[in-house]
Structure 1
Amino acid sequence: MPDDITPVLLCGGNGTRLWPLSRKSYPKQFAQLIGSESLFQASARRFAGQGFAAPLVITGDPFRFVVTEQLAATELAPRAVVIEPEGRNTAPAVLAAALVLAAHDPQAVMLVAPSDHVVPDAAAFRAAVLAALPRARAGDLVTFGIAPVRAETGYGWLELAPGARADATEPQPLARFVEKPDAGRAAAMLAAGNFLWNAGIFLFSVPAILMAFRLHAPDMLAAVQRSVQGAVADLGFTRLLPEAWAGVPDISIDYAIMEKASNLVVMPYGAGWSDLGGWQAVWQESGPDSAGNVCSAHATAIDCHDTLLRSEAEGLELVAIGVEDIVAIAMPDAVLIVRKSDSQRVKEAVAVLKARGAAQATSFAVDHRPWGWFESLAVGERFQVKRIVVKPGAALSLQSHMHRSEHWIVVAGTAKITIDDQVRLISENQSVYIPLGAHHRMENPGKLPMVLIEVQTGAYLGEDDIIRYQDDYARK
């Protein structure tokens, strides 16, 4: 419907505070941290239904197929998926979304929301959005403020104007934004009662936000306009023009617009919210038991208190005995152990690993691709063993390698194999050899996932040793 609110879901960010489960190659919004769906899927569902249009998603190139696959699993179709050439923080992303919407619906109302938040009561939050809608349609910029439940130092805060009520059910006048405070300042703001947490969620009309950019960030507006005007369609995605995007500043919407705007109001919300910004937040939102413990399916706590134990590795049992205030996360290629009270320091570990050149700092052993995924099972000098899973109907690119040959052994399903000018079907327990330099491709013609073991041998085994000749996913 033309009058519906268009959710704009921001899918950038690296999620390093939830390492090792969240990494640059597959950040937290796509992981199942709380419940049976990813945070991104839960966000899309939260803003679906009466009063809301199909979502517009802003993401990066590596995640475009993850976005569409996860939306398809929720049976939600996006209005558009806009690909940023590179992350430039929230202000350029919001502006690009507004310009894309303006081309089709100049009066659209947009709800900007990060895709990695937890909102337990989706109906209550939708009601708060609809309560703020008249002010957005009237030209105000609405930000959402969360009723604080503790002296949080990890969030920015919002100070209400004199006479405004923190428990109001309609938008209130806002005095100012407050940077992330120290512990003493946070305690004082909590006690004062006229401060809210800054959720980073906004509601406004396209004309109102475009006018705000004209007034407060005209140079950014010009650059992003060029990038949107030069955008190209690619397999259903909208790719912004990289040359223009390269000149866009890296700045948040708070700094670029909200702290300067005079038509800003805040919608208070008190029914529960978390940005899941660290492992302590995951522990809180996961519902600790009577001893304060949260354990995954393959984790066991014996005589422990206030712990978060998660085993994310198949066949790996995690056991803790007699510990307190501990987060332990076990992955196939990395283990994190940290005091829960120090869990915000996880970014320090990521920085140390990056400096050391450890792949685990940014990448998983499992590598998600448009056609499925693969993982390394064993790596040695001049050889590597992988498990490859190809989705039904999917196909890898027609490709060749300059430095390695490959052996493929099908262990589940049937593979359609192309090697130079020969095409054949390989069934379970059958194998094939791919000589160095041969043009080759694998496809899954079946209705179930196809699994094979790949053994690579050669002088160089990097993922960049691929020459693509034909690709269903338009990868270079």
Structure 2
Amino acid sequence: MQLITTILCGGAGSRLWPVSRELHPKPFIRLADGQSLLQKAFLRGAQLSGLTEILTVTNRELLFATQDEFRAVNTTGIPVSFVLEPCGRNTAAAIAIAALQVAEKHGPDALMLVLAADHVIADQAAFEKAVRTASQLAASGKLVTFGIHPDSPETGYGYIEAEGNTVIRFVEKPSIEVAREYVDSGRFLWNSGMFCFAAGAMLAQMKLHCPDILDATAACARQSRSAEGKGYTQLELDANTFKLVPDLSIDYAIMEKSDQIAVVPCNVGWSDIGSWTALGNLDEPDTNGNRIQGDVLMHNTHNCIIHSNDRLMGAVGVDDLILIDTPDAVLVAHKSSAQDVKQIYSQLKIKGHEAYRLHRTVHRPWGTYTVLEEGNDFKIKRIEVKPGASLSLQMHHHRSEHWIVVRGMAKVVNGDAELLINTNESTYIPAGHRHRLENPGILSLVMIEVQSGPYLGEDDIVRFQDIYGRT
């Protein structure tokens, strides 16, 4: 029996700001062991018996960062494929396009295990046991969800009332009083947002209960571009038709309507890491209840969550706070208001402040750049280019650039000239000149870029050629 692990990777990055951002959402957050939540989801699916492929549905802007994450942990060469969304249309659309792809490639009886990219599961053995049970139910035509035995009255989760594998009803996020009643009754499970089903069974239920979503998604797939390589396939969804797909969750579209639903109750050490409090709880507390990552000194400080991985932080005489330091933003919040962090994110987005969208270090398909300092008419970046990688052939209308190589060798197109620039050498690129940077070596190329001009926005770029398809 074929099993395709399907990872849904996206999110706005609002609840774990400032570490998560729109273009660096929660799945890319690294835990204390150095692995990201996305890498843990990949490895979780990769260890399952019968695995044929790992399919990831993600935003087009996150593709190259996702590939880098997978490349670091895919040591056995598991085939991977991607569906690239131009914008988010919720989980029903994501699952519909994934099921269409799986049914076409592997047949309608192929089983799909749908995982979120930003969950933690502590007990892999219990998870694999739950998947085996779910697979048996899915092979009989059921759409299976995983229900987590609750250990506290959480108001941030949906609930499932169940008897054995039979779902009685789905319930929205309750008040704290109702949540206590649910937990005390023993009849309710947390809705984990993980699923298992045959691709054909899901498509049949979509045709019955949400044909508008299925038809619009199928129409989009027919207009979309696909690519294929060794152990790799990719479908880039057409933006004009994908925006016509109705925006609805899989729970509303299918799970609450279908009579083919089953649930597997389980204890797998699950958390959806929905706040800084949940993320902090993954760290072991010290004797004063503080959960710390990074270089932190404390005095008379209790029950705090403190993350500071780039510089020294001191905390004196404070209790029950969340203190998060990043190179361009600091968060100070009371633990009781952890769910309200998204309000800061929303304010930044309304103001158009880049801190809701990007970190100072930004991932690109060729490597990364880090903004070191900027003013009204200048910006200084550290640029790192992977071995063999190349930036696009491009031009800027409003800014000139000065490139200084600090490690490695750069192959540069500057106007009509083609240059090799060694360590401690530089070149100047006037505004309006076509230019390209390439790393011809086997080690990473590191350089400093000094930009100057009246406008320094990242949208001042005209691409003429690009090996990553961004022209």
Q: TM-score, normalised by structure 1?
A: 0.95
1:182 aligns with 2:198: no
Report if the CA contact (8 A) 1:216-1:257 is conserved: yes
2:264 counterpart (263, 267, 270) = 267
Structure 1 partner of 2:41 = 43
Report if the CA contact (8 A) 2:124-2:268 is conserved: no
Question: Structure 2: which amino acid aligns with 1:55?
Answer: I
1:337 aligns with 2:332: yes
Aligned counterparts of 1:223 and 1:189: Cα–Cα separation in 2: 38
In proportion to residue count, which structure has more strand? 2
Report the Cα offset of residue 277 of structure 1: 0.6
Aligned counterparts of 1:14 and 1:240: Cα–Cα separation in 2: 19
Q: 1:15 to 1:33 in 2, by over 3 A?
A: farther
What RMSD in Å do the two structures reach over aligned CA positions? 1.4
Aligned counterparts of 1:435 and 1:209: Cα–Cα separation in 2: 56
Q: Secondary structure at the match of 1:16?
A: coil
Report if the CA contact (8 A) 1:300-1:309 is conserved: no
Report the Cα offset of residue 78 of structure 1: 4.2
Structure 2 partner of 1:470 = 465
Structure 2 partner of 1:301 = 298
Question: Structure 2: which amino acid aligns with 1:83?
Answer: L
1:289 aligns with 2:286: yes
Q: Secondary structure at the match of 1:317?
A: strand
Report the Cα offset of residue 353 of structure 1: 2.1
Report if the CA contact (8 A) 1:305-1:323 is conserved: yes
1:150 counterpart (134, 138, 152) = 152
1:202 aligns with 2:176: no
Report the Cα offset of residue 230 of structure 1: 2.3
Q: Secondary structure at the match of 1:103?
A: helix
Aligned counterparts of 1:7 and 1:220: Cα–Cα separation in 2: 22
1:55 aligns with 2:54: yes
Question: Structure 1: which amino acid aligns with 2:223?
Answer: G
1:278 counterpart (268, 275, 279) = 275
Per-residue CA deviation, residues 45-97 of structure 1 (Å, 9 max, x unaligned), is 00113222221000011011111111111125443101112100000000100
Aligned counterparts of 2:4 and 2:202: Cα–Cα separation in 1: 14
Structure 1 partner of 2:126 = 124
Per-residue CA deviation, residues 310-348 of structure 1 (Å, 9 max, x unaligned), is 0133xx211112222111000111000111121110011
Per-residue CA deviation, residues 379-437 of structure 1 (Å, 9 max, x unaligned), is 11221111111111111111111111110111111111111222221111111111121
Report if the CA contact (8 A) 1:312-1:329 is conserved: no
Please give the residue correspondences for 1:116-265 in structure 2 after superposition, counting only pairs within 5 Å.
Answer: 116-161=118-163, 164=164, 172-234=165-227, 236-265=233-262
Structure 1 partner of 2:445 = 450
Aligned counterparts of 2:465 and 2:299: Cα–Cα separation in 1: 54
Structure 2 partner of 1:168 = none
Report if the CA contact (8 A) 2:401-2:429 is conserved: yes
Aligned counterparts of 2:284 and 2:210: Cα–Cα separation in 1: 43
Question: Structure 2: which amino acid aligns with 1:305?
Answer: H
Question: Structure 2: which amino acid aligns with 1:308?
Answer: I
Report if the CA contact (8 A) 2:158-2:173 is conserved: yes
Report if the CA contact (8 A) 1:328-1:336 is conserved: yes
Report if the CA contact (8 A) 2:402-2:450 is conserved: yes
1:413 aligns with 2:419: no
Report if the CA contact (8 A) 1:293-1:301 is conserved: no
Aligned counterparts of 1:370 and 1:140: Cα–Cα separation in 2: 40
Structure 2 partner of 1:11 = 9
Question: Structure 2: which amino acid aligns with 1:57?
Answer: T
Report if the CA contact (8 A) 2:46-2:78 is conserved: no
Aligned counterparts of 2:279 and 2:354: Cα–Cα separation in 1: 25
Structure 2 partner of 1:83 = 84
Report the Cα offset of residue 31 of structure 1: 1.9
Structure 2 partner of 1:372 = 367
Report the Cα offset of residue 229 of structure 1: 2.2
Q: Which one is further off, 349-358 or 63-72? A: 349-358
Q: Which one is further off, 326-335 or 439-448? A: 439-448
Aligned counterparts of 1:78 and 1:301: Cα–Cα separation in 2: 47
Q: Secondary structure at the match of 2:226?
A: strand
Question: Structure 2: which amino acid aligns with 1:154?
Answer: G
Aligned counterparts of 2:383 and 2:122: Cα–Cα separation in 1: 36
Q: Which one is further off, 79-88 or 291-300? A: 291-300
Report the Cα offset of residue 34 of structure 1: 4.7
Q: 1:34 to 1:93 in 2, by over 3 A?
A: farther
Report if the CA contact (8 A) 2:283-2:292 is conserved: no
Question: Structure 2: which amino acid aligns with 1:208?
Answer: A
Q: Secondary structure at the match of 2:39?
A: helix
What percent of counterpart residues are identical?
44
Aligned counterparts of 1:131 and 1:290: Cα–Cα separation in 2: 41
Report if the CA contact (8 A) 1:26-1:363 is conserved: yes
| Unaligned residue ranges in structure 2 (runs of 5+) | none
Stretches of 4+ aligned residues off by more than 3 angstroms: 76-79
Report if the CA contact (8 A) 2:89-2:243 is conserved: no
Aligned counterparts of 2:238 and 2:437: Cα–Cα separation in 1: 33
Please give the residue correspondences for 1:433-444 in structure 2 after superposition, counting only pairs within 5 Å.
Answer: 433-444=428-439
Aligned counterparts of 2:87 and 2:189: Cα–Cα separation in 1: 32
Structure 2 partner of 1:70 = 69
Report the Cα offset of residue 234 of structure 1: 4.3
Structure 2 partner of 1:28 = 26
1:103 aligns with 2:100: no
| Unaligned residue ranges in structure 1 (runs of 5+) | 165-171
Question: Structure 1: which amino acid aligns with 2:411?
Answer: K
Per-residue CA deviation, residues 101-147 of structure 1 (Å, 9 max, x unaligned), is 11112211001111100001122201210122111000011100011
Q: Secondary structure at the match of 1:104?
A: helix
Q: Secondary structure at the match of 1:406?
A: strand
Question: Structure 2: which amino acid aligns with 1:241?
Answer: D
Q: Which one is further off, 235-244 or 340-349? A: 235-244
Q: TM-score, normalised by structure 2?
A: 0.96
